[in-house]
Amino acid sequence: MKQLMLLFVILLIPVTALAEPGLPTVSVSTDPSGGQTYTLSIQALAMMTAFAFLPAALLMMTSFARIIIVLSILRQALGTMQTPTTQILIALALFLTFFIMEPVFDKVYQDGIAPYLENEIGPKDAFEKSREPMREFMMAQTRDTDINMFANISGRTDIKSPEDVPFSLLMPAFITSELKTAFQIGFLIFIPFLIIDLVVASVLMAMGMMMLSPMIISLPFKIMLFVLVDGWALIMGTLAASFYT
């Protein structure tokens, strides 16, 4: 967790703020009347702002968005209402995100954060080296069509290769691609459970039991199917593997 916090701080703090590491966090000045005035430096303000963006960075620059959307669609397909609870789904998504992103975080720490903490490289070099593994991960998951769409919106015509894609353009393209992929996976998950609902509803209608809710009858069958195919292992394994293929 400490490495993760350091990672996002370096990724989000502006380079201009990092370029002046010698600035004091808080300066104290004494006025003619003997009173003291405390001033917060721009560097400290930038760090506080960066910490405010940590949740957004964790949600939108990692695998978290795809995982939580798929798990939410799975719960909806099962029809189990609030089981598993939202807190459990978020916890599952967070732990799976850390598992998937661990090689990326480790590379960021080894290439950028660790040398910076040991005073081997400057803050600007640490920023660039820390950002590169995240960029590679995001680029591998982003569709070319989404990059081209945002490039056309921004009027960029100088993008000839993946190396030319700026980070400000890559982030919205990555988020859009993740949303598309998550809903595609969710659609495939939903189909088997939808078939069970249709079969149960048809049988109940044929028997004239229209006053009985099909969801009550189909729920045990959907849970049984999910357990028999080892659904949780299948879903979690598929989600993890989808980021490495």
Q: pLDDT tens digit string along 149-181?
A: 888 888 877 777 777 788 888 888 999 999 999
19 pLDDT more than 70: no
Q: Locate 193 and state its tokens.
A: 């459970």
5 pLDDT more than 60: no
Token pair 């993008």 in the structure block, residue = 159
Give the predicted TM-score (pTM) of the model.
Answer: 0.74
Residues 109-133 have a mean pLDDT of 79
C-alpha 76/C-alpha 215 separation (Å) is: 12
Q: How far is CA 229 from CA 57, 224, 232, 234, 235, in A?
A: 35, 9, 9, 8, 10
187-217: pLDDT as tens digits: 999 898 888 888 888 888 888 777 777 777 8
C-alpha 3/C-alpha 103 separation (Å) is: 12
C-alpha 214/C-alpha 36 separation (Å) is: 73
Q: Which amino acid is located at 56 in the chain?
A: A
38 pLDDT more than 50: no
- Give the model's pLDDT for residue 177: 92
48-91: pLDDT as tens digits: 676 677 777 777 888 888 999 999 999 988 888 788 888 999 99
Q: How far is CA 102 from CA 63, 85, 240, in A?
A: 11, 26, 12
21 pLDDT more than 50: no
